[in-house]
Amino acid sequence: MNPYEAELEELTAQDRFRYCRTVEPATNWPQVRVDGQLAVDFCSNHYLGLAQDKRLKTAAYEAIQRYGTGSGSSRLVSGTSLPIKQLEESVARFKGTESARIFNSGYQANVGVIQALLGKGDYVFMDRLNHASLVDGCLLSGARLVRYAHLDMTNLESRLRKVPADQRKWIISDTVFSMDGDSLKGQLGHLLDLAEQYNALVMLDEAHATGLWGDKRSSGLVEAEGETERVTLHMGTFSKALGGFGAYVAGSQALMEVLTNRSRGFIYSTALPPAVVATAEAALTIVQSDSRLKECLWDNVRYFKSCLAPILEGQPESHSQIIPIILGQQTMPVCEALLQQGFFVQGIRPPTVPEGSERLRISISAVHSREQLDAFASALSKTVLNWVDLNVLTR
């Protein structure tokens, strides 16, 4: 047997083999067909349902008519198109910063930014549950990676204290955690105080908060906590609540110019196509001018959590539209049983989450109907109680 076949066999033996299901649209999203089975989608990060919004589709279509389908090259080679230039200005206004850069994806932004701004001799302090792309950027940069306990500011401080004062330091964190649904809410101020005290710069990843948090512009948790000024670098994506694809980073003009000159993910990759850029612009306009979708989402989240209260007791507390239910070894059987009942919810296993904390990851959207939420809550409660004795789960 060749070594890769052996590796696959080992994954299968450990119940870690993963594959991608085939999903097709069915009537209206969130109705989908998963490997042929009709189901309601509770996996997608399209929290506002914008990927199906007519205004975004029209913007994409018009951009293709005007500019074509591709962008030709990287921006340092063939130039920045007008839609990208305008989108960067829109993002800077949205985030309340001097300047912004568009990257081709959130993964590429995180890897490209950290690799560009940090190097040997620098220190990066990261929450232990940060997104993999932030960790990968750090590994690529050659900086020293120091991981602190999840959302634990005391632990962060004890780690900051050990590093010599004259070393360059960054604190980097997700604002809403993608697999746990908890957040820096109520703790961001403390994190920024520590950054000031220990002379560290701060980068925050708002992938799951962009478009959803903040009273005025819905630009993320940093806006909601009133801390725009004290954050060095803001990052977020167009691929989740904003219903499209691509990512932004925002901060000072000088930092953005360093990225243009040093970030390999920016320099060595073709710019996003016009349709994608136009979609992002349309989504930014919608989330800043119309709060109805966002209100629907938070209503749905509150309602669904109240329906599931008995199951959620003893689970990690979600602050958001992402609701984890840790089921350990029973995760995949529960997942399969739910699909057979018409609910598509994904089981998340290591290495995405730590060993022993295998879970269902439910994401709620503004366009789920009350009937869909009721039916899912009821099927979920019955199925989970059927398969799992919640009291014996080690947490």
Least Å distance, CB 134 to ligand PLP, is: 7
Least Å distance, CB 184 to ligand PLP, is: 12
- Binding of residue 363 to ligand PLP (CB under 6 A): no
CB distance 118 to 139 below 8 Å = no
> What are the residues whose beta carbons fall under 8 Å from the beta carbon of 41, sequence distance 6 or more?
23, 29, 30, 31, 32, 344, 365
- Binding of residue 279 to ligand PLP (CB under 6 A): no
Residue 111 main-chain phi, psi, to 5 deg: -65, -45
Question: Per-residue contact track with ligand PLP, 94 to 113, x per CB under 6 A?
Answer: -----------xxx--x---
| Positions marked catalytic | 178, 208, 240
Residue closer to ligand PLP (CB basis): 74 or 341: 74
Residue closer to ligand PLP (CB basis): 99 or 237: 237
* Residue 48 to residue 296: CA distance in whole angstroms: 9
Tokens of 77: 């080679």
Which residue's structure tokens are 């007791």? 313
Amino acid of residue 172: I
Of 99, 237, 346, 357, the one binding ligand PLP by CB under 6 A:
237
The sheet with strand 31-34 has its strands ordered as 23-25, 31-34, 37-41, 343-344
Least Å distance, CB 108 to ligand PLP, is: 7
* Residue 131 to residue 180: CA distance in whole angstroms: 11
Looking only at residues 157 through 186 of this chain, which bind ligand PLP when binding is defined by CB under 6 A?
Answer: 174, 178
Of 247, 334, 364, 366, the one binding ligand PLP by CB under 6 A:
247
Torsion, CA 395, CA 19, CA 240, CA 311, rounded to 10: -30
Residue closer to ligand PLP (CB basis): 110 or 315: 110
Q: End-to-end distance of the chain based on CA atoms, in angstroms?
A: 38
* Residue 285 to residue 306: CA distance in whole angstroms: 32
- Size of interface with ligand PLP, in residues (CB under 6 A): 14
- Binding of residue 259 to ligand PLP (CB under 6 A): no
Report which residue's Cβ sits closest to ligand PLP. Answer: 106
Strands 346-348 and 169-174 come out as unpaired
Strands 37-41 and 31-34 come out as antiparallel
Least Å distance, CB 242 to ligand PLP, is: 10
Residue 325 main-chain phi, psi, to 5 deg: -125, 105
Least Å distance, CB 109 to ligand PLP, is: 7
Of 44, 173, 183, 239, the one binding ligand PLP by CB under 6 A:
239
Residue closer to ligand PLP (CB basis): 112 or 383: 112
Of 81, 97, 133, 210, the one binding ligand PLP by CB under 6 A:
133
Tokens of 387: 């398969």
* Residue 88 to residue 257: CA distance in whole angstroms: 13
Residue closer to ligand PLP (CB basis): 105 or 219: 105
* Residue 290 to residue 285: CA distance in whole angstroms: 8
Which range touches ligand PLP (CB under 6 A), out of 28-36, 49-57, 204-212, 219-227?
204-212
Binding site for ligand PLP (CB under 6 A): 105-107, 110, 131, 133, 174, 178, 205, 207-208, 237, 239, 247
